Chains A and B, each alone.
Chain A
Amino acid sequence: MHYIVLIIGAALVNNFVFSRFLGICPFLGVSRRTETAIGMGIAVIFVMTLASIVTWVIDYYLLIPFNFVYMRTIVFILVIAALVQLVEMIIQKVSLPLYQALGIYLPLITTNCAVLGVSLLNIQLKYNLLESCIFAIGASLGFTMALIIFSGIREDLDLNDIPEAFQGTPIALITAGILSLAFMGFSGLVK
């Protein structure tokens, strides 16, 4: 039960995009078409889970014992970047179709603040390894969902006559704002 609550909390109540406002760059960048949004979403699920496990391990066995917690952010950035590169290489070798499907999005995630955010939050919220893992899955599911919902709306927005000043990113941001308001409705669902 605890883990289900954790997932719902991370995916809906504290949605990374709509409540925590993390990962807005790929959220706006890769949400033009639903297909690319799905590809990006799957890549994020994969990387976020892996990154949170690795960073948790590094934090627990390296940073805390040696009392280097103040260097957490910079170490995490380094590790995540290297990890993403590694994963990209492995996928390219092991499964070319998978690489072609999401390999393109992997470099984009390298500097995604949502990935770093989830790693730091894991530590801040004092989760254990399993909890961090579940939390990361929930958070990335929430991110994917936000991306897919938003891309659907944007595809529909293309059909409408939007005033010139609002065309493109402005209307996308306005829509994202309204969508964010809608997600506020989940607050209080999980404590």
Chain B
Amino acid sequence: MTLLAAALLGGIGLVCALVLGVAAMTFAVEMDPREKLVLDLLPGANCGACGYAGCAAFAHALLENPETEMVCPAIHENDVKKISEILERKLASLGGMIASVCCKGTVKDVADNYIYEGPLECRAAQLIAGGSKACAYGCLGLGTCEQVCPFDAIHIGEDHLPYVDKEKCTGCGKCVIACPRHIIRLAPFDLPKCEVRCISKDSPKEVKKICSTGCIGCMACEQVCPFNAVTVMKNSAARITHTKCTGCGLCVKVCPVDVIESVIELKKASILKDKCNGCSICSQVCPVDAPKGELKNPYTIDEAKCMGCGICIDKCPKKAIEKRL
């Protein structure tokens, strides 16, 4: 009996398989071979979170419409890279980029032109005489970036400024497009070490009048930077060239309006006593006077002063300085 049941089930299965096999050959339809490849790389869960009716539809859209972005939240980063290769175009929401907000002006810092009472939407607020905040480059703080973020990665803090959650941000750029004041920028995930939180193009005089934390173009940062990474141009906030910046934080210290921020914390230097011959080069190159000691005796680093810029590590002839673990 059991055998018969198994045979029947197997038989039906076999018949189905045969029919399907024949059908597959008879009704074979040629499709773009890339579509199959893309489809294989997609998670295949048909969850519909991308807004399309399943992975196949999304794969089709990726091929057909060159504006389709990688909106699949479940896909692995490597697969996105592979799909980019297949499609021969870069997909925007690749990992590795991160949004960064270029304004530090809280309600207390920046003057208001008028009292705004409309919808809590930056883009709508921008329509009324260009936004209530007196600085045309300042964050309106109504949270449009928070609303448009599909990954819940940007939030308006208590000071009414947006903060990016580094863990969650995928660099999709939705907030960058949505921000009516264009103060959100995308930067490579691991590159920025220091950032100028201001993009004002007003004259320094104007900035000083309306904002207590806007870049006033005083050039202090440009002069102090040992790596020529900061440039200040006329009527434009200071800019940091991220490829040159080591994150030493000297500019952060000298900035009179506190508009430059350290994004990462650097490891401090430490001197290996047995290698140091007391040549004093480190104390000569150090911008903050952190190495202490007497000539020809091993030096020590004053941890309170050291910022971890790493200049001494490069200059030490004996390779006696290391980053503290």
Contacts and interface: CB of A to CB of B under 8 A. Distances in A.
Contacts of A96: 29
A39 B27 contact: no
B37 interface: no
Contacts of B46: 107-108
B8 interface: yes
Nearest to B25: A89
A105 B53 CA distance: 7
A116 B224 CA distance: 75
A66 B56 contact: no
B8 to A, nearest CB: 6
A68 B27 contact: no
Interface string B37-77: 00000000011100001101100000000000000000000
Is chain A's binding surface mostly helix, strand, loop or mixed?
helix
Contacts of A40: 53
Interface string A110-137: 0000000000000000000000000000
A36 B57 CA distance: 12
Interface stretch (B16-24, B97-105, B182-190, B280-288): B16-24
Interface stretch (A71-79, A138-146, A173-181): A71-79
A58 B9 CA distance: 12
A187 interface: no
Q: How large is the interface on B (under 10, 10 to 19, 20 to 34, 35 or more residues)?
A: 20 to 34
B12 interface: yes
Contacts of B19: 82, 86
A104 to B, nearest CB: 4
B12 A75 contact: yes
Nearest to B8: A68
Nearest to B53: A104
A71 B5 contact: yes
A111 B46 CA distance: 13
A78 B16 CA distance: 8
A154 interface: no
A108 B54 CA distance: 9
B16 A82 contact: yes
Contacts of B29: 92-93, 96
Nearest to A91: B27
A90 interface: yes
A85 interface: yes
Contact of A71 (B9, B53, B56): B9
B20 A82 contact: yes
B120 to A, nearest CB: 11
Interface string B179-211: 000000000000000000000000000000000
Contact of B27 (A62, A79, A93, A105): A93
Nearest to B23: A89
A29 interface: yes
B8 A32 contact: no
A8 interface: no
A97 to B, nearest CB: 13
A94 B23 CA distance: 12
B286 to A, nearest CB: 51
B157 interface: no
B5 A90 contact: no
A22 B29 CA distance: 34
A29 B8 contact: no
A7 interface: no
Contact of A78 (B4, B13, B23, B56): B13
A79 B16 contact: yes
Given A82-B20, A89-B23, A89-B27, A62 B8 contact: yes
A104 B54 contact: yes
A107 B8 CA distance: 26
B8 A71 contact: yes
A82 B9 CA distance: 13
Contacts of A85: 20
A6 interface: no
Nearest to B11: A62
A39 B48 CA distance: 14
Contact of A86 (B4, B8, B9, B23): B23
A30 interface: yes
A95 to B, nearest CB: 11
8 contacts: A29-B48, A30-B53, A68-B5, A75-B12, A82-B19, A89-B23, A92-B27, A96-B29
Interface of B: 4-5, 8-9, 12-13, 16-17, 19-20, 23-24, 26-29, 46-48, 53-54, 56-57
Given A82-B19, A93-B29, A108-B54, 8 more contacts: A58-B12, A66-B8, A74-B9, A75-B8, A78-B13, A90-B23, A104-B54, A105-B54
